[in-house]
Amino acid sequence: MICPFCKSNENKVTDSRTTDDGRAIRRRRECQHCRRRFTTYEMLEEAPIVVIKRTGDRELFDRNKIITGLLRACNKRKVTRRQLEEVVTTVERRIRNLLLTEVTSEKIGEIVLNELRSLDEVAYIRFASVYRQFADLDSFMAELKHLMENKSFTDKK
């Protein structure tokens, strides 16, 4: 492993442990040259997922794109980075459980929305407004009404 600070390849592992979901190993390392510490993650390499965009273009699935969108949607909300990482892990697991090598960006967006709805309703609406590309105020209000109806239904249970 190359040190991200001094680029030396001489380092030692000071601590290893599995991550919360058991799908990766977190390793704390110390560079023997500059003595700085850094963290690496070792994960099982899985078959790549190809995302089919609305334009028809294809690209590899990128967790960071979902995290970026979620961070924007959750700006100034009481949602932790850890919660967002859990959402992305759940989304990726659900996609992999579909046993498809290609998945549409629309399908990914719907899975993200389902997870986000139970996490934070304001973030859900923010994410939905970008993802669903509301054409006008009426379509935005229809989504809000749908969310409120579902909330009323679940509150009565």
Mean pLDDT by 10 residues, the chain (157 residues): 95 91 89 96 85 94 93 92 92 90 91 89 83 70 73 48
pLDDT at 153: 39
pLDDT at 46: 78
pLDDT at 80: 93
Structure tokens at 61: 């699935």
Contact 127, 113 (CB under 8 A): yes
133 and 60 within one domain: yes
129 and 103 within one domain: yes
Query: pTM value?
Result: 0.61
Rounded to an integer, what distance in angstroms lies between the CA atom of residue 105 and that of residue 36?
40
Q: Tell me, what amino acid is at 144?
A: L
58 and 33 within one domain: no
In sequence order, what E strands does 2-155 have?
A: 11-18, 24-31, 37-43, 50-52, 58-60, 102-104
72 and 25 within one domain: no
Q: What are the φ/ψ torsions at residue 117 (nearest 5 degrees)? A: -55, -40
SS3 at position 34: coil
Q: What are the distances in angstroms from CA 37 to CA 17, 42, 103?
A: 16, 17, 38
- Domain span at 15: 11-43
Number of structural domains found in the chain: 2
72 and 35 within one domain: no
3 assigned to some structural domain: no
Rounded to an integer, what distance in angstroms lies between the CA atom of residue 116 and that of residue 108?
12
78 assigned to some structural domain: yes
34 and 57 within one domain: no
58 assigned to some structural domain: yes
pLDDT at 156: 45
80 and 21 within one domain: no
16 and 59 within one domain: no
135 and 101 within one domain: yes
82 and 17 within one domain: no
